[in-house]
Structures are given as C-alpha cells and as structure tokens.
A and B are shown apart, each in its own frame.
Chain A
Amino acid sequence: MKIRKDKDVRDGLMVSMGLMTLGLATLMLGSDREYGWLVLGIILTLVALYKAVKPSKDFIEDERSLRNKEKAGYHAFSVMLILIILLNLLYFYKMWMPLPSQIYALLFFVGVYVWIAFQWMYNKKGE
C-alpha cells in the first residue's frame, strides 16, 4: 500500500489540524458544548488518510457529479435564504426567540443535510 504525500493530502491534514486546534482551544477556555470542531477535525483527518492510500485519479470528479453538486449547492443556498427569512420573521414577531448558538447549529445542520439530500436526489434522478 502506497501512501501519497502530495498537495491534496497535505491541505486536508492542515485544515483538520487547524480545526482540532480551534476545538482544543475552546475546550481549554472552559467550554463544554463546542465539541463539534474537534469531531469535525477528527472526521477530516480520517477522510484525508483515506484519500492518501488511494490513487489520486480515483478522486477526479466527472462532469455529471460536479454539475449535480453545484446544482444541489444552488438549491441549498435558496433553502437557507428562505429559512433565514422565516426565522427572522419568527424572531421579529417574538414567536420563537432562541439563543444565537442554537441558530448556528440549526443553520449548519439544515444547510448541510439539505445539500446532501439534493445531491442524492439529482444523482438518482439525473438532470
């Protein structure tokens, strides 16, 4: 098994190490709820290591999946804008007044999962 040491792998490891440093910094500040950075860093490290043991031509995206990714990104962007407008109205009329930290988690997870769902849908359905 040959392990690659090129630019992609190095960049992935750099990003994951930066995220883990941020996570450790927040933990050292005494926070008990920002484990997400650390978990994200660990996941990205595993992804980078997985990519390192595969040949680089396995990860060249074809036209179709790139197109689906971008299309899903556009629709996720629209969904997030509509969601932000709705949350803003709810806050404005004092129907739901959450903490900012709750909102960040909500926006992050809704955005990422909507993106994944749209990508799955377009991959299945075609154009």
Chain B
Amino acid sequence: MDKDNVGENKVFLVHIACGAVFILLGLVQVMRYEAIGFFASGYVLIGIMYILLAVKTSKLPKTETMPDERFIGIRDKAGFYAFFSIIAVVMILSFVDLLLLYDIIDIGSSALLFSGSENIFPLMARYMFISFVGVMVFIGVMAYYLKKGN
C-alpha cells in the first residue's frame, strides 16, 4: 500500500453516506412499527455492511477501488441476465396469480408468496421474491463469468 495515496480516495465517503441513510431508514421503521422490527433489521444490516465497506476502502489507494474493463463487462453481462430473469419471474408470477384467482390450484395458506390478497403482506412477499431472484441471478452469473472469463 502506498502511503501517499491514503486519504486521497473519497469512495468511502459515499459508502458512509449510504450506510447512514439505510441505518436511519431502519431506525425509523423500528420506531414507528415496533412489532415488525424484523423487516427493519435488514435495513440496519445493509447500513452496517456499507460502513464496513467504507472502513475497508478508506485504506485502499484510488487505483485499487476503480473497477477495470473486465469487471465492468462481466457486471453488465450479469445485470443483463438478472434483468431478464426479473421479467420472467414477473410473467410467471402473474400467471400463477391468475391460476390462484380462478381457484385452479390451491396450495394452502402456508406459503405467503402464493397466498391471496386477503393476507397481510402478500405484495411485500412478492416484491421480496422478485428482488431476491434478481439479486441471486446477478451474483451467480457474476461468479460464473469471473471464474470462466468472458
């Protein structure tokens, strides 16, 4: 590590700002709705992870935190696949919802994801499912191409 470069890299300020915003969002949710602190804990966790990332990047010189050409190419490719997986999940979920609406299939109320709209947070579970699939596809494709090369 080059000592002259320490403190020159300002990326960690962005990470600290993002972490603070997420922790604040989580705390607001805890204060307004004490009963569902489970959802808020996710925001606080993301905030803490951002702060840890800031601690890590604050010590690195500028050249090490800049993404290189290969990484950007792989990231774009992974984002492309993740985007179309989200579109596919949305289409499949709309079809499954239609089947549920007309009582074609009934899998009970155990799975919140496929429950009807009379439940408390059916839409929230669907949002979580869609974003979870997208992020997992993104991470998976990225790991695959980082290992294999373009």
Contacts and interface: CB of A to CB of B under 8 A. Distances in A.
B59 interface: no
A126 interface: no
Interface string B130-141: 110011001000
A78 interface: yes
Contact of A104 (B80, B93, B124, B128): B93
Q: Is the interface of A mostly helix, strand, loop or mixed?
A: helix
Nearest to B95: A22
Given A29-B98, A76-B83, 11 more contacts: A29-B102, A67-B76, A71-B76, A74-B79, A76-B79, A77-B79, A80-B83, A81-B135, A100-B117, A104-B93, A107-B130
Interface of A: 22, 26, 29-31, 34, 67, 69-78, 80-81, 84-85, 87-88, 91-92, 97-101, 103-104, 107-108, 111-112, 115
9 contacts: A30-B102, A73-B79, A73-B81, A73-B84, A74-B76, A77-B80, A77-B82, A103-B127, A108-B91
